[in-house]
Amino acid sequence: MRILVTGAAGMIGRKLVQRLLEDEALGGRALEALVLHDVVRPEADSPMVTALEGDLSAPGAAEALVAHRPDVIVHLAGVVSGEAEADFDKGYRVNLDGTRALLDAVRQAGLHPRVVFASSEAVFGGPFPDVIPDDFAPVPLTSYGGQKLMGEILVNDLSRRGMIDGVSIRFPTICVRPGKPNRAASGFFSGIIREPLVGLPAVLPVPRGVVHTMASPRAAVGFVLHAATMDTGPLGGRRAVIPPGVAVSVGEEIEALRRVGGERAVALIEERPDPAVWAIVQTWAKAFEARRGRELGFVAEDSFDEILRVHIEDELGGRVPVAEG
C-alpha cells in the first residue's frame, strides 16, 4: 500500500502520519511507502517515508508527487478560511488550482487511486435551519467554502468518470486543535480550552451562545482512515459526506473546561468581542443531522467532555496542568 499525504505537516496531517506509521497498515494491507508533501517540510522518522517540500499549485509539483504512484491520496493541503478570505489569489491558487493540479496529474498518469479530500462544513451558508439535513443545499458564503465546494465537484466528476475513487469529508471544526493558534477564524473554539488547561490566557471573540459542531483530532484521523478504506459503492454520485460531530455552545465548552480545570482555568478566558471574527462565525452552521455519515460508518465523540478527555490523553499525557498548579 502506497499512500500520498498532501498538507502532511499540518495538524491533521501530522496526526494521520503518526497513526499510519504506528499501524504500519491501512485497511488490512501493509504500508509500503508514505509520501508526504507540504510547503513546510514534513517531519517523520521512518525508512518508509519520502518527505517532500513545495507548493502543490506550482507547475510540475503535482506530477512529481503522483510519479510515486500512490494507491491512496489524502489531500489535506489547503489555505484556511481566514487566510482565503484575506488573500483572494492565494486561496484560489492553493485550494482550487492545487486540488485541480493534483487530480489532473492523477488522471494523466492513468492511476485510479482512492482520493480522500478534506472539504469543510464551510461549503454551507445561511440562512440555516437549527439542524442541517444531509441534503441541505450548499451555498458557501466565504471564498474558502466556495473553493472547497469546487473541490468536491471535481472529486464527484472524476469519480463518476472512473478516474479516481473519491470521498470528500465535510470536516466540522476540529477541536481541541493542538499547538499554536493558526489563521482559521474558528481558532478560538480550541484556544479557550487549550490555553487555560496549561495555565495560559485565551481570548473569546464571540458571545457564549454561539453553537458550533466539533470533533477531536483523533476523530478527524478516524474519518480519514475510514474514507480511505470504506466501500464507496453506497455513495453513488454523491461523494461528499457530512461526518458526525458534537454540536455544542461556547458556554457548554466553558462548563466542560470548568469540570476538569476548575475556576482557575475558566478565569483565564477573556471575553473580547471581535466584529471581524463574529461576522465570519455567523455565516457558519450550528448543528448537522449527519445521519448518512453515521450510516456510512463515520464515528465521532458523543459529548464535549469526551473531546476534552481525548485532548488531555493525546496532548497532555493525561495531566491537567492548571488543576495541579
Active site residues: 144
Minimum distance of a second copy from residue 123's CB (angstroms): 10
Tell me the CA distances in angstroms from 308 to 202, 268, 318, one per residue in order.
Answer: 16, 17, 11
> Is residue 180 involved in binding a second copy (CB under 8 A)?
no
Taking CB atoms, the residue at the shortest distance from ligand NAD is 10
Q: Closer to ligand NAD by CB, 78 or 113: give it.
A: 78
Minimum distance of ligand NAD from residue 15's CB (angstroms): 8
Residue 94, binding choice from ligand NAD, a second copy, none, Cβ under 5 to 8 Å by partner class: ligand NAD
Asked if residue 182 lies in contact with residue 171, where contact means CB atoms within 8 angstroms, the answer is no
Q: Closer to a second copy by CB, 50 or 232: give it.
A: 232
Asked if residue 1 lies in contact with residue 26, where contact means CB atoms within 8 angstroms, the answer is yes
> Is residue 146 involved in binding a second copy (CB under 8 A)?
yes
Measured CA to CA, the distance from residue 146 to residue 123 in angstroms comes to 6
Q: Closer to ligand NAD by CB, 113 or 243: give it.
A: 243
Question: Which positions lie near ligand NAD, rule CB under 6 A?
Answer: 6-7, 9-13, 38-40, 55-57, 76-80, 94, 98, 118, 120, 171, 173-174, 182
Minimum distance of a second copy from residue 174's CB (angstroms): 24
Measured CA to CA, the distance from residue 281 to residue 269 in angstroms comes to 19
Q: Closer to a second copy by CB, 107 or 208: give it.
A: 107
Tell me the CA distances in angstroms from 287 to 14, 22, 210, 213, one per residue in order.
Answer: 27, 33, 11, 6
> Is residue 40 involved in binding a second copy (CB under 8 A)?
no
**Three-class DSSP category at 41:** coil
Residue showing cell 493534483:
102
281 φ, ψ (degrees, to nearest 5): -60, -35
Measured CA to CA, the distance from residue 176 to residue 170 in angstroms comes to 18
The interface mask with a second copy, positions 192-231, x = CB under 8 A, is ----------------------------------------
Sequence-separated (6 or more) residues with CB below 8 Å from residue 31: 1, 3, 20, 21, 23, 24, 25, 48
Minimum distance of a second copy from residue 156's CB (angstroms): 7
Residue 160, binding choice from a second copy, ligand NAD, none, Cβ under 5 to 8 Å by partner class: a second copy
> Is residue 149 involved in binding a second copy (CB under 8 A)?
yes
Give the type of residue at 40. Answer: V
Q: Closer to a second copy by CB, 100 or 309: give it.
A: 100
CB atoms inside a 10 Å sphere around CB 112 = 15
Q: Helices (DSSP H) in the chain: which residue ranges?
A: 11-23, 61-66, 81-86, 88-91, 99-109, 143-160, 187-197, 217-229, 250-266, 275-281, 291-295, 304-315, 321-324
Minimum distance of ligand NAD from residue 135's CB (angstroms): 20
Within 243-272, the residues that bind a second copy by CB under 8 A are none
Minimum distance of a second copy from residue 63's CB (angstroms): 16
> Is residue 82 involved in binding a second copy (CB under 8 A)?
no
Q: Which residues bind a second copy (CB under 8 A)?
A: 88, 107, 125, 135-141, 143, 146, 149-150, 153-154, 156-157, 160-161, 237-238
